[in-house]
Amino acid sequence: MPGGRPRAFDPDTALDRALEVFWSQGYEGTAISDLTAAMGINRPSLYAAFGNKEDLFRKVLDRYIEGPGGFAARALDASRAREVAERMVYAAVELTSGTGTPRGCLSVRCVQACGPEAEPVRDEVAARRKAGEMALRARFERARDEGDLPADSDPADLARFVHAVTDGIAVQAASGAGREDLLRVAEIALRAWPSS
Amino acid sequence: MPGGRPRAFDPDTALDRALEVFWSQGYEGTAISDLTAAMGINRPSLYAAFGNKEDLFRKVLDRYIEGPGGFAARALDASRAREVAERMVYAAVELTSGTGTPRGCLSVRCVQACGPEAEPVRDEVAARRKAGEMALRARFERARDEGDLPADSDPADLARFVHAVTDGIAVQAASGAGREDLLRVAEIALRAWPSS
DNA sequence: CCTGTTTTGTATCGAGCGGTATGAAACTAG
DNA sequence: CTAGTTTCATACCGCTCGATACAAAACAGG
């Protein structure tokens, strides 16, 4: 089994470039030519290495969630529920208003605007978002069982609230709000957190 | 000056149909053929009556802000600042999870996903959003001057917070959350409101 | 009835879309 | 060097996009 002509590009860095484009332009707003230009490869190389546009987007989504979007999973490791919430919203500010990365959030962007053709993509993103919210809810349920949250608080509602706040921050960031402004939004939102 | 052949459609109801399509599919996700099918007219009639796609979208945006999105302006009429915030977030729930209308918010949807071609549309939506936030901020400044808000509270931050919460609610609604879930998000968010 | 004006329906435009066929190029194994 | 395999580069496919040309149809004024 001989190995043919070697690749002239690194797939991982190419995926990062594709991530940038999808992140800033969304799924439908991104053309294959945008991707090949940013990745520094040509069309057939893209299709051979990553499949079609939808396949590539799913790979990019994996990379996003494991990379920049990984703050959500790491926030669950905090010792107290309030700190989990703090990490979530502050990290959302960092992510969505970061320098060197596009404004806003890839998931929020791509779960929104979709013509009939991009519906499977939208459903995929929605499913991942749901999974993240469920993990957050499970974390808060554990906290309540441990007395880290009031007994009369609803973990599902708190998870959805935190999730909604991070979504709002992402929209505001994409809409032009600066980091300091978003930090104050996060701070105010945390005042709603139940005192244990 | 004779008047030629009469129109076979009502422009306002046609605009309402176009609004539904843009609302549910976003600007880029909507094709002219989607619009003509929903409006019950054919291409040349659309272009003659409303201009090109971007012109039509601007007219639709006007109609959205004066109609379904008018809750934001009406909320400012409440007598107390807290009631303004309450009306904003609860009306956002109504709007974005309403039956008979698409899920989510047209403005939130269209300020997000955009390829290079739709940038002027995005900027337009962003400007309108900014104007709404400025009106909310002015309302809260007045409230603070009247003692209706604590003297150490920042009206700009509060306006941005309320705006971000409504944005988060819109994203959650578009992402599949139900009305009752969103009502609890709104209720929790209002706990962050400063007590006068 | 005729003329002028506006709308309607059909058919089409060039451009860009996502996706591919086709070889030449660059490598490994023998 | 040759054979086999994989990638690269160009050109191209059918399709849909947004936007129009054109002529028939439906009205008002004279």
Does residue A1 carry a pLDDT above 60?
A: no
**Per-residue pLDDT, A2:** 67
Does residue B3 carry a pLDDT above 90?
A: no
**Per-residue pLDDT, B94:** 98
Query: How far is Cα A61 from Cα A56, in angstroms, rounded to an integer?
Result: 9
- Measure B31 CA to D17 C1' (Å): 8
Residue B130, both tokens: 């900014």
Q: Which residue from A minimizes the CA distance to B123?
A: A175
pLDDT (tens digit per residue) in A85-120: 999 999 999 999 999 999 999 999 999 988 999 999
pLDDT (tens digit per residue) in A122-170: 999 999 999 999 999 999 999 999 999 999 999 999 999 999 999 999 9
> Whole-number mean pLDDT of chain A?
97
* Mean pLDDT within A35-62: 98
Instruction: Indicate the burial class of B34 (C-beta count within 10 angstroms; 0-12, 13-18, 19 or more).
Output: middle
Q: Do B26 and A112 touch (CB under 8 A)?
A: yes
Task: Give, in degrees to the nearest 5, the angle at Cα A58 between A24 and B106.
Answer: 45
Q: In strand C, which positions have an atom below 7 A from any protein CB? A: 3-12, 16-22, 25-29
pLDDT above 90 coverage of chain A, percent: 96
Q: Which residue from A minimizes the CA distance to B21?
A: A115
Q: Which residues of A touch B28 (CB under 8 A)?
A: 26, 28-29, 113, 115
Is residue A151 within 8 A of residue A144, CB to CB? The reply is yes
Q: Chain A closest CA to B79's CA: distance in Å? A: 23
* Mean pLDDT within B115-138: 97
Is residue A114 within 8 A of residue A27, CB to CB? The reply is yes
The confidence band for B16, taking pLDDT boundaries of 50, 70 and 90, is very high
Is residue A177 within 8 A of residue A186, CB to CB? The reply is no
Is residue B73 within 8 A of residue B135, CB to CB? The reply is yes
Residue A159, both tokens: 């998870």
pLDDT (tens digit per residue) in B47-76: 999 999 999 999 999 999 999 999 999 999
Does residue A83 carry a pLDDT above 90?
A: yes
Sign for the pseudo-dihedral over CA of B160, B180, B174, B109: negative
Does residue B162 carry a pLDDT above 80?
A: yes
> Whole-number mean pLDDT of chain B?
97
**Per-residue pLDDT, B1:** 58
Contacts of A107 (CB under 8 A, 6+ apart): A61, A64, A65, A69, A125, A128, A129
Q: Which residue from B minimizes the CA distance to A105?
A: B112
Q: CB count, 10 Å around CB of A3?
A: 5
Query: How far is Cα A192 from Cα A129, in angstroms, rounded to an integer?
Result: 23
Q: How far is CA B130 from CA A44, A59, B17, B74, B153, in A?
A: 43, 35, 26, 17, 20
Q: Chain A closest CA to B112's CA: distance in Å? A: 6
pLDDT (tens digit per residue) in B114-126: 899 999 999 999 9
* Mean pLDDT within B130-156: 98
pTM over 0.85: yes
Contacts of A112 (CB under 8 A, 6+ apart): B26, B104, B108, B109, B112, B113, B171, B174
- Which residue has its C-alpha nearest to nucleotide C7's C1'? B5
Q: Do B126 and A176 touch (CB under 8 A)?
A: yes
**Per-residue pLDDT, A3:** 80
Is residue B124 within 8 A of residue A175, CB to CB? The reply is no
Query: How far is Cα A140 from Cα A153, in angstroms, rounded to an integer?
Result: 10
**Per-residue pLDDT, A113:** 80
